[in-house]
Chain A
Amino acid sequence: MSFFRKLHSFLVPFSLLSWLGLLACTLLYAHPSLAPSIGTPPGWLLLVLQAVFTACIFIQERGTEERLRGLDFVGLIRRLVLGPGLLATVCVGLHLVQQLVQTKLPETGSVLFTCIYTINVGLFVVLLARTNYAWRSLVLFRSSARLRRLWLWFEVLLGITLLFRLFTWTPPFGLSTALLGALAAFGAYISGQQKWVAYLNRRQKIEVILLQLAIILAMAVFVAYFLQTKSDPQLIAPATQHAFLLLNAFFAGFYAVIGLLVTFFNLPTAGVFEQKREEILSLQRLTQLIQRGQNTEEVYRMFFDSAIQTVEADAAWLDVEEAGESHPGQYYTLQPEQAKTMRNLLIDYNLNHIEYLNNDLFNSSGFRALNLPFGSLIVMPLRSSKRQYGNLYMLKEIPQGFDRESLSILQTFASQAVLSIENLQLIQASLHTQRVQDELKIASAVQDSLIPKNLPIDNWFEISSHALAATEVGGDFYDFLHLPGRRLAVLIGDVSGKGVTAAFHVAQMKGIFHALMQENPLARNEREKFPVPSKFMAQANTALARCLEKAAFITASLYIIDYEHGGFVFARAGHCHTLYYHSIKEEVSYFRTAGLGLGIIRHDGYEKHIKNQFYDYNPGDVMVIYTDGIVEARNGAQDEYGEERLQQMLERTYYLDAEQIKEQILADLNEFSKGQPIHDDQTLLVIKFKASQPEGSL
């Protein structure tokens, strides 16, 4: 490999030297008197020098880097024309100068003629090498391996012809012609490889035709020149490498002619290719729009413009059906009124939501009556599996204006547009979801801060609590408040509904609780300083009446435990019954009292529906309060946990600590509803009254 590279760097000086040698030999041949001591050089030397020169130029051309850059076929041929084109001009110019000088100074004729002839031979060889290797780039453009092999053979065979004249052996006349003929046929076959033409658009094709004409012209100039000088009596130089140059010229010219013809006959189809390309580009633009995530408006406009451009419609309009949003229809060289009459007609035909192609509107009585200048119509619905987005209407003035191709490309466009629109909607939806989730997180954090973190601690009772929300934010709540005189207010409740609204009502309810449980300075006696539970509920109901939405309500129970006197009073506003263990009677039962939920009736009549219940407790009594999420928890068979099972649990665990009782109940509950999603918030409070006496300091 390195040998060839080294060789390559010597090629230019070699070719120059051999050409100079050739010039010298030719001159000596023509005028042996120029250097009498040397005499006439032998004929074979001339041929060898010619052969070396030609070989050098060809190998050098072969070794230059690939001329074809990407798909720049026109540039390749243009460079070829500018090179050889100029060479042809030089050649003709030299010839004219020679003719001119000859008439003025006839005695210099022969020497000058020989010089110019030798220069022209050199130029011709360069031109042939250039052209052939330019053609090679075109022939081998996206070619198969087989074709590459064939080209190599072609090169080798051409090279062999270069050796023809070096040997004294002259092949029989018939054989030589046959060989040359076979090679010419080979060249003709290779000339058929004109794949590249398909990649040109109309403008490029015209340019290529002109450029190829220029090349053929340049060849013709050379050939004409050589034909003329061949018979010129002044030419004393020996014949050139005839067969090689002839074959090369034949191939170069023939390829140019075939290319020209192919390009020429491809001109009418250029429009089709360009249209296909335009379709692909339009599709690409549509696809890019999806990725850029712009608005639907833009997708529709892009779709509309691309569709018009691609099917070359004379008029068009696009109807977009947006839920809740009004989209002005898009019109292209069409009045909205005209579109309306056509739309109404199509609705009459019941053709509004299907693909519809009518290429003969003039023969349809309905359309004829509209008196519009259109002969063909396509209706393309924009729809996904979920919904209909609208319809695209394309019109052409001529009948038979659309074909199946137009329909299928419009289908592709429509589905692409629908895809973009649905993508955009998905993006918007996900953004919305993200925002909602963020809000829920905040609501959840706020609600978390509403749950009492520190449970009341006293020697008179134990409290244990559990709260679990079904969603980020739940509707359950509980709270404690110490009242003066060794009293404790315990509130538990449940807001109907879930989510942020429920959390909001929980906050309201807690606000109401803390506001109403304030000491009344006007109270006449100790008992009236704080509202009794039924009064509290009535006041809370009034407060909630104004802010709770119509279908919402709140259930709550309020217990005011007076542990100095060993009793409590409570009211139940629609909340779950209180489960109670009586240590004296040694039995577990529910306090089944009446009481209406808050916010169900919103007038003064509420107070009638709520009752206070007083109870004196004994040490060892256990009170279990909870929300409906506990008793309505379900198992795999959709059975509810139920009050009865809860009661049985307390019957089994009443002697334990409050914390242990809670744990046991929850363990049983989880065992019961294993594998089932919790569908409501669960809150459980266990209060165990104790026998121990208050310490002296209290």
Chain B
Amino acid sequence: MKITQQSTESTLTLSLDGELDASSSVLLDTELSKPEILNNQKVLIDCRQLNYISSAGLGVFISHLQTFQDAGVKLVFFNMQDKVHNVFEILGLDSLMTIVPSEVEAVAV
């Protein structure tokens, strides 16, 4: 798992590369737990290279969901592969989280 960051004035984009399982979700949790992340208006998660997400990986997003909402930070997923999207959908997360097809739409949200 590799996480690359790209930051503009009010938007932080995290690109996830690889498999988000129990061990790599710790990395992601560390990134999302940083207090300065709440200074952004939007946190975009680029899932183009994300091949697999385990329940531990989902748990990381779930655990930060409330904090982000309370702080008014939008969490947007884009470029999600079908396989991964299916996991979000089965769990019902697609009704809670913003998942858009492309970066253009993610920026526009």
Contact = CB atoms under 8 A, between A and B. Distances in A.
Contact of B95 (A494, A496, A594): A594
Interface stretch (A101-109, A230-238, A415-423, A546-554): A546-554
Interface in A40-77: none
B90 A553 contact: no
Contact of B90 (A498, A576, A609, A680): A576
A595 interface: yes
B35 interface: no
27 contacts: A498-B22, A550-B62, A550-B63, A551-B29, A551-B56, A551-B60, A553-B91, A555-B90, A555-B91, A573-B92, A574-B90, A574-B93, A575-B90, A595-B92, A596-B92, A596-B95, A597-B92, A600-B65, A600-B93, A600-B96, A601-B65, A601-B66, A601-B96, A602-B66, A609-B96, A640-B83, A680-B54
B55 to A, nearest CB: 4
Interface in A532-565: 550-553, 555
Contacts of A575: 90
A234 B62 CA distance: 124
B92 A553 contact: no
A600 B65 CA distance: 9
Contact of B58 (A498, A553, A576): A553
Size bracket of the A interface:
20 to 34
Interface string B41-71: 0000000000000111011101101100000
A665 to B, nearest CB: 19
Given A551-B62, A552-B59, A574-B93, 10 more contacts: A550-B63, A551-B59, A553-B58, A553-B59, A596-B92, A597-B91, A600-B65, A602-B66, A609-B92, A609-B96
B58 A496 contact: yes
Interface of A: 494, 496-498, 550-553, 555, 573-577, 594-597, 599-602, 609, 628, 640, 680
Contacts of A680: 54
Contacts of A594: 92, 95
Contacts of B93: 574, 596-597, 600
Contacts of B91: 553, 555, 574, 596-597, 600
Nearest to A640: B83
Contacts of B54: 680
A497 B55 CA distance: 7
Nearest to A642: B83
B46 to A, nearest CB: 21
Interface in B7-55: 22, 29, 54-55
A628 B91 CA distance: 11
B28 to A, nearest CB: 11
A266 B62 CA distance: 81
Interface in B72-109: 83, 90-93, 95-96
